[in-house]
């Protein structure tokens, strides 16, 4: 199980610049679908990588699904040399994304994010319209139902839902 509360709290308190995307962003916007992990797009400045590494090191991030015992070192160099990481941590599954299909990296997504006050901290979340756009751009068959639900949420919020 992923402890969304603890993950968001730790990242926010450490001052990490990130935007919640994926299923957790959909939850924040009102989705009823089950999602297993927290997906975030993180800013790749050296200062932010340092904050990110420090915020997570106590939870021992490790590549998800990889056999145990790999020489995986959680440090700034590792994060700097990579881009997207699917990790398991002591707080659950966490995907760290340097970029997402159809959306780019943190700086490009920032104007399309909203600030959420959640669990006593503030964190950024991709707005509903851009979340739909990036899911449409990804073109994954498994996302079709999720996109349909997100568009329905948009209609409900706008009060333009079709009559049952």
Partner 1 sequence: MPAFEPDPVIEAYKKDIDRTLIRENLRLTVEQRFEKLMALQRFAEELRRAGRAARQTK
- Which parts of this chain interact with partner 1 (CB under 8 A)? 1-5, 24, 27-28, 30-32, 34-36, 116-119, 129, 132-133, 136, 144-145, 147-149, 151-154, 156-158, 161, 164
Comparing CB distances to partner 1, the nearer of 64 and 136 is 136
Comparing CB distances to partner 1, the nearer of 55 and 123 is 123
**Alpha helices by DSSP H, 30-143:** 46-57, 76-81, 106-109, 128-138
128's tokens: 């509903």
What H or E segment, with its residue span, contains residue 68?
none
Nearest distance from C-beta of residue 44 to partner 1, angstroms: 26
User: How far, rounded to the nearest angstrom, does the alpha carbon of residue 18 sit from its chain's CA centroid?
Assistant: 8
Comparing CB distances to partner 1, the nearer of 63 and 120 is 120
Comparing CB distances to partner 1, the nearer of 51 and 135 is 135
Give the DSSP per-residue string, 1-37.
---HHHHHHHHHHTT--EEEEHHHHHHHHT------S
Strand partners, 123: 116
């Amino acid at each position: 199980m992923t402890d969304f509360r603890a993950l968001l709290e730790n990242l926010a308190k450490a001052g990490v610049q990130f935007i919640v995307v994926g299923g957790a962003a959909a939850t924040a916007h009102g989705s009823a679908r089950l999602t297993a992990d927290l997906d975030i797009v993180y800013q790749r400045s050296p200062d932010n990588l340092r904050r990110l590494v420090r915020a997570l090191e106590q939870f021992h991030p490790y590549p998800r699904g990889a056999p145990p015992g790999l020489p995986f070192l959680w440090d700034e160099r590792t994060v700097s040399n990579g881009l997207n990481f699917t990790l398991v941590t002591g707080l659950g599954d966490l995907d760290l994304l340097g970029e997402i299909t159809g959306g780019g990296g943190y700086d490009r997504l920032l104007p399309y994010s909203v600030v959420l006050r959640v669990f006593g901290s503030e964190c950024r979340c991709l707005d509903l319209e851009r979340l739909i756009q990036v899911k449409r751009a990804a073109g994954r068959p498994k996302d079709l139902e999720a996109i349909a639900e997100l568009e329905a949420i948009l209609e409900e919020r706008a009060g333009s839902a079709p009559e049952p």
